[in-house]
Amino acid sequence: MYKTKARPNKMDVAQLLDLEIQARRAFIDSDVTKEQDRPSKILKAYPCFGELDHLMDELRRVLNQGNSHFLTELKTRWGTFCERAQFYGVFKKLMRPPQLDKVKHSIAMMKALPEMFPSPMAPPKKLRHASEALLHVLESAEDPNTFLQTRPLSSPVVIICETNCILAIGTMPVLIFPKEDIHESVMYLMACYYTFHLTYPKCIATLLSVVQTEVLLDAIHDCDMTTSYKKAMADWKKFISD
């Protein structure tokens, strides 16, 4: 396992992670650790996953290790998906036409996505909306740590602060990224689900399954092919083909 206090060279770490992927994935995918404890234990063993580059690179290894262009292609597919989803959201009367402010537009998109691809399961009562399973916009006097401690889900979430964004899992902040990169944050969330081998929350499972198959190009198991997923995909395919 990679574990060091000194800040290592990124390329050296990436090479080491490439070499030991089978042993690492066996460790991560095992059921020895409870899911809610898994992220902290993995980050203790692999602190490099607290850096966005390494986190996204692990997504590449899990899905398509041999493709060095995977992340570039992924960003392109996500961009195409978002462009189509914008029109889809307007068509379903869930979104307004694009805003000039890219950050505000990205937040509006993330808030609308769970309604575009709805799950039958309602979010926990403490969540105001299913989109809160994806992101939370801090109010002026709100503390991010207090929010995380009271959040009813242990899944990955993006917290939008005044000047930047926090990617967190459960009650644990993992990393900070610039607010202007919020448009890519759903991919960061998916990287967390794959890297830490986490289960999708039921209230956004349909959405994340659609992203998994349409953007990550990762097929889902037959047992995960729910009625809501099939309907969401049928409606989506019909819209983009018309």
Place 1 in a pLDDT band, splitting at 50, 70 and 90: low
On whether residue 79 sits in a domain, the answer given is yes
Percent of the chain with pLDDT over 70: 96
Q: Are 66 and 199 in contact (CB under 8 A)?
A: no
Alpha carbon distance 134, 204 (integer Å): 8
On whether residue 14 sits in a domain, the answer given is no
Place 197 in a pLDDT band, splitting at 50, 70 and 90: very high
Tokens 């307004």, located at residue: 96
Place 5 in a pLDDT band, splitting at 50, 70 and 90: low
On whether residue 116 sits in a domain, the answer given is yes
On whether residue 51 sits in a domain, the answer given is no
On whether residue 124 sits in a domain, the answer given is yes
How many domains does the chain contain in total? Answer: 1
Alpha carbon distance 36, 24 (integer Å): 18
On whether residue 44 sits in a domain, the answer given is no
List, for residues 6-33, the tens digit of each pLDDT value.
567 888 888 888 889 999 999 888 877 7
- One-letter-per-residue 3-state SS of the chain: CCCCCCCCCHHHHHHHHHHCHHHHHHHHHCCCCCHHHHHHHHHHHCHHHHCHHHHHHHHHHHHHCCCCCHHHHHHHHHHHHHHHHHHHHHHCCCCCCCCCCHHHHHHHHHHHHHHHCCCCCCCCCCCCCHHHHCEEECCCCCCHHHHHHHCCCCCEEEEECCCEEEEEECCEEEEEEEHHHHHHHHHHHHHHHHHCCCCCCHHHHHHHHHHHHHCCCCCCCHHHCCHHHHHHHHHHHHHHHC
Residue 192 has pLDDT above 80, yes or no: yes
| Angle 87-114-97 from CA coordinates, rounded to 5° | 25
List, for residues 71-98, the tens digit of each pLDDT value.
999 999 999 999 999 999 999 999 988 7
In angstroms, how far is CA 18 from the centroid of its own chain? 22
Alpha carbon distance 177, 62 (integer Å): 23
On whether residue 50 sits in a domain, the answer given is no
Mean pLDDT rounded to a whole number for the chain: 92
Compute the average pLDDT of residues 128-136: 95
- pLDDT the model gives residue 240: 94
On whether residue 91 sits in a domain, the answer given is yes
Q: Which residue has the higher pLDDT, 26 or 216?
A: 216
What residues make up the domain containing 86? 67-241
